[in-house]
């Protein structure tokens, strides 16, 4: 992967960021360094190391997900700053194109 000004412009466009030129240059340098560091992982000898999905052997350390009647739907909607009937009303964040 080549990190260049064109890629930085594309990333900024996707993220809807308006970056000044000096910030784009810094971001390009940082991404080059990050990719170079990650590519060093290809040099690590992993022969004989079994694949794992987790670093630790722990399983399900979460609390129980039992239903809890702390707040009803109508009570929750009463706290909404803006609502429409029984729904929370939120500002649009995605432009339709």
Residue written as token pair 């970056």:
19
pLDDT at res. 97: 66
pTM, two decimal places? 0.48
Q: Does domain 5-43 have CATH number 2.40.50?
A: no
Domain edges within the chain? 5-43
Under 8 Å between Cβ of 27 and 19: yes
pLDDT at res. 58: 78
pLDDT at res. 75: 85
pLDDT digits (tens, 9 = 90+) for 64-76: 777 777 888 888 8
Percentage of residues in the chain with pLDDT exceeding 70? 98
* Beta strand segments in 1-97, E: 83-84, 87-88
pLDDT digits (tens, 9 = 90+) for 31-76: 999 999 999 988 999 999 888 877 787 777 787 777 777 888 888 8
Q: What is the CA radius of gyration of the chain?
A: 24
């Amino acid at each position: 992967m080549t990190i260049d000004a064109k890629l930085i412009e594309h990333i900024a466009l996707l993220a809807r960021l308006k970056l000044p030129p000096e910030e784009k240059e810094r971001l390009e340098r940082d991404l080059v360094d990050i990719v170079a560091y990650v590519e060093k992982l290809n040099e690590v000898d992993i022969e004989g190391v079994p694949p794992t999905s987790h670093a630790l052997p722990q399983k399900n350390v979460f609390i129980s997900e039992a239903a809890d009647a702390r707040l009803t739907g109508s009570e929750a909607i009463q706290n909404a700053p803006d609502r429409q009937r029984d729904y929370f009303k939120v500002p649009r964040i995605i432009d339709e194109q």
